[in-house]
Structure 1
Amino acid sequence: MRKVFITGTDTGVGKTLISSLLVKKFNAYYFKPIQTGSKEERDVNIVKNLTGLNGEYFLPEVYLLKEPLSPHLAAKRENKKIELKKIFCPQKEPLVVEGAGGVFVPLNENSFMLDLMQKFSLPVLVVARSTLGTINHTLLTLEALRQKKIDILGVILNGPLNLENKNAIEYYGKVKVLAEIPKLKTINSMGIEELLTNFNI
C-alpha cells in the first residue's frame, strides 16, 4: 500500500477503525483533511491512541471545526468556508487519508467530499456496515465513485458477519469485499492487534 483514501457509506460506519488498522499494519501516515466535531473528539487522536505510533505519523487537519455537523454547516457556524484549492494531498508514503462522512457530504455550496476524492486521485477503500440497508448504500457509493472515474480498491464490511450481504455487494457492485470486521466489544490498541492477527487486510 502506498496511498489510499478511506470513505464510508455513511457517518459512523467505522472509517476511523479501518484507518487505524491500516496505519498500524503499514506504519502509514494518517491525514484527515476535514474534521468536524473537534469539541468532542478528533479522529487523529483516536488513531494515535489505537496505533501507538509516534506523533510524526499524524498530519494536521486543514479544517478543524468544532461542531459535530456536516462540514459545510460546521464551517458556516464558524464563519468559514471550506475551499478545495487549499487542501492538498501530502507527499508522504505510505499514507491513509480519511474522509468525513460519505461521498455526497457537502463541503460548501458547490462541492462534495467526492470532489475532494477526485482531486486527490487516490484509490478508494469503501467502509460499509454489514447490516440491513448496506446493499443499497454501498451500491450507491460505488456508482458515485465510478461516475467520477475514481479507482476503487474494494469494500470492507464492519459489523456482524453477514454472508448474504457480502455476496450481494460483490455480485451487484462488481467489487471485492476485502475484509469483514466483526463488532469489537472494546475498541482499544489490544483489539487492533487482535484484528491484525486474525484478519488479512
Structure 2
Amino acid sequence: MKWKQNRVFITGIGTGVGKTVSSACITQALKAQYWKPVQAGLEEGTDTAFVAQMIQHPAKTLREVYRLKTPASPHLAARIDGVAIDLEHLVHRANALENTHQPMVIEGAGGLMVPLNEHQFILDLIIALEARVILVAGNYLGSINHSLLTAKVLQENKIPVLGWIFSGEYNTNEDDIVSWSNIPKIGRIPKATILDQAFIQAQAIQLENSLKDAIDNI
C-alpha cells in the first residue's frame, strides 16, 4: 500500500491522553488542515471548535462528517442518534476536502480499537485513509502496556508511524516506550498553566522541525 504523504492521523493510547491539544499543536506547526471526521458528544463543545479557537492562520479546521450528540463510543452514539457511520463515505469526504497544498491532520476518537460501527474500528479508518500515524501518550499507571499494545497493532498492520508525542510531565517511562516500541519520539507537550493560542503556538514552534523531519523521512 502507498501511504499518503499529506495525511497525518493522530491517535492516542486511550481516551483523555491529550490528543486534541496535541492535534492543535501539530496542525499549527504544519500549517495544516485539521479534520475530526467523527465527533461524539456536542454539549460541552467540539474538538473542532476548540482547535479552531487555538490555532492561527494559515492553519484551518474542516467540518466534521458525523456530529453525534452522545459522548460515547462512535458506534454507540451513532446508534442512539439513529445513524450508521459509513467508512467509504468518510474516505470520499477526505478526498473531497483535501487540499494538496496543505497537510491534513486527522484526529481520531480514543484509541485504535474504538468501534465506528458494528464491524469497523478507528484502525480500519486509518487504513482506508492511507494515513500515516502520530501516537499520543500520557504518563499514568498502565500507560506502558497501552502504549506498547497500540504500537504493536500498528506495526502488525504495517501502518507507518511517524513517532510519539508525550503529553504531561516527563516520566522515564517514555524513554522505555520509545526503546521497546522502536518508534522515535517527536516531542513532548507539557501540561498548560494557561491553555490558549500562545501556548499552542509555543508548542508548535518546539515541534516544527521534528515533525517535518519525521514526515520527510518515514
- What is the TM-score normalised by the length of structure 1? 0.92
Is contact 1:131-1:160 (8 Å) kept?
Answer: no
* 1:100 is the counterpart of 2:103: no
Rounded to whole Å, the distance in 1 between the matches of 2:6 and 2:85 is 27
* 1:126 is the counterpart of 2:135: yes
* 1:79 is the counterpart of 2:82: yes
* 1:45 is the counterpart of 2:49: yes
The match for 1:161 is: 170
Rounded to whole Å, the distance in 2 between the matches of 1:36 and 1:77 is 11
Structure 1: gaps (5+ residues)? none
Q: 2:190 pairs with 173, 176, 182, which one?
A: 182
Task: Map Cα deviations across residues 121-144 of structure 1 (whole Å, 9 max, x no partner).
Answer: 111000010233211111010111
Rounded to whole Å, the distance in 1 between the matches of 2:156 and 2:116 is 19
Task: Map Cα deviations across residues 97-155 of structure 1 (whole Å, 9 max, x no partner).
Answer: 11111000011111111000110111100001023321111101011112221111111
Q: 1:16 pairs with 14, 20, 25, which one?
A: 20
* 1:2 is the counterpart of 2:10: no
* 1:66 is the counterpart of 2:69: yes
Is contact 2:7-2:103 (8 Å) kept?
Answer: yes
- Of stretches 83-92 and 151-160 in structure 1, the one that deviates more from structure 2 is 83-92
Rounded to whole Å, the distance in 2 between the matches of 1:109 and 1:141 is 21
Is contact 2:29-2:207 (8 Å) kept?
Answer: no
SS at match of 1:106: coil
Which structure has the higher relative contact order (CA within 8 Å, separation 6+)?
2
Of all paired residues, the percent bearing the same amino acid is: 39
Aligned residues: 199
SS at match of 1:128: strand
SS at match of 1:2: strand
Q: CA deviation at 1:193?
A: 2.2
- What is the TM-score normalised by the length of structure 2? 0.86
* 1:194 is the counterpart of 2:202: yes
The match for 1:33 is: 37
Q: CA deviation at 1:64?
A: 0.7
SS at match of 1:44: helix
Aligned-CA RMSD value: 1.7
Query: What amino acid is aligned across from residue 186 of structure 1 in structure 2?
Result: I
Structure 2: gaps (5+ residues)? 211-218
